[in-house]
Amino acid sequence: MNFTIKGKTINQLEEFVIKNGFPKYRAQQIYNWMYKHGTFDIRSMKNISNDLKSFLIDNTIINTLTLHDKSECDNTVKFLFKTQTNQFIESVSMIEDDKHTICLSSQVGCSVDCDFCATGKMGFISNLSAGEIIDQLLFIKNTINNPITNIVFMGMGEPFLNYNNVINAAKLMNDDNGLNFGANRITISTAGIIPKINKFIDDKLKFNLAISLNASNDETRNKLMPINKKWPIKDLIKVAKKFNENNRNNITFEYVLIDTINDTHQDAKQLAKLLKNSGCKLNIIPFNSIGNEYSRPSENSINSFLKIIHEEHEGFRILVRWSKGVDINAGCGQLATKGLK
């Protein structure tokens, strides 16, 4: 079986080239071509020997994904990729003014089963390798001229249930000898896998962290996110405080606003009380339809909720994120590839 070099660290590449009879310094050349130059073609690696090129072509895999389809609207492009195991994932590029944000997937499907998320309805199929995560970024980087300003792990899957591969990919993105994205430009979002959040803190990682909250009380969150029965809201608030004590960039709580479910005046007041003096950021995201029983609140309801939050909030920041690409199912919670062959 061929060795996949995409997603490998410099140490792993050094071990690989030495094991196969090539000088150690060749690993750095391969590393630079893959990450700094973003090449998908071994033949274009100009400063490596012909013997090594032939060996890599015959014995390694550098392309982990192929583009199957893409759709565009609203300065947003959704990419449908096929893996080498014939599974499908989606990634999104969003451009607004001088910002170019890319949304990456970490799994095929998802086991967390949030009731308002299309990916959750797929169930879990497989984890993505670090190379498959990196290749989403590299393909978008090579396809769209606008420089990437922000990377968010908010696509298909629960990143912290694929912790090692996600963190390894993020470190490759952050490496100044590779892709060279600052840690503050990379955000990892989780449904609230508390043991992994604690590991993230203990590992002293500097990437931004977001937690999908989506409710102001356990009863509602239990319905929307079954994972809450294992790790309830009080535990999320506790671990958020721990994170904020250890990081310069405070944690972000994401709150998908759903009609008649979590958008009442009481919800707004409870949420403001819950986050009082937490130092966290609150990201309000009006719901995007996935064809089930949930719907987006009316504009009046959204404005009313936001008005109360602004009046009641104390000691935390409020942001509102209107999803782009909703018409092509590229908005928050809409990514899904179930049934594709």
Question: CB neighbours (10 Å) of residue 202?
Answer: 10
| Catalytic site residue from 14, 15, 90, 110 | 90
| Catalytic site residue from 103, 110, 117, 332 | 332
Q: Using CA atoms, how far apart are residues 182 and 173, in angstroms rounded to an integer?
A: 8
Question: What token pair was written down for 204?
Answer: 């002293």
333 neighbors 288 (Cβ within 8 angstroms): yes
Tell me, yes or no, if 332 is annotated catalytic.
Answer: yes
User: Edge-to-edge strands of the sheet including 99-103?
Assistant: 65-73, 76-83, 88-96, 99-103, 150-153, 186-190, 208-212, 252-257, 281-286, 317-320
DSSP β-bridge partners for residue 151: 102, 186
Q: What angle do CA 263, 323, 239 make, to 5 degrees?
A: 65
76 neighbors 324 (Cβ within 8 angstroms): yes
Which residues, other chains included, contact 43 with Cβ-Cβ below 8 Å and sequence gap of 6+?
53, 57
Q: What one-character-per-residue DSSP string does 300-340 give?
A: HHHHHHHHHHHHH--SSEEEE-PPS-GGGT-STT----TT-
Largest CA distance in the chain: 69
Q: Using CA atoms, how far apart are residues 161 and 291, in angstroms rounded to an integer?
A: 26
Q: Using CA atoms, how far apart are residues 96 and 75, in angstroms rounded to an integer?
A: 7
DSSP β-bridge partners for residue 312: none
Question: What token pair was written down for 181?
Answer: 């994205």
Active site residues: 90, 332
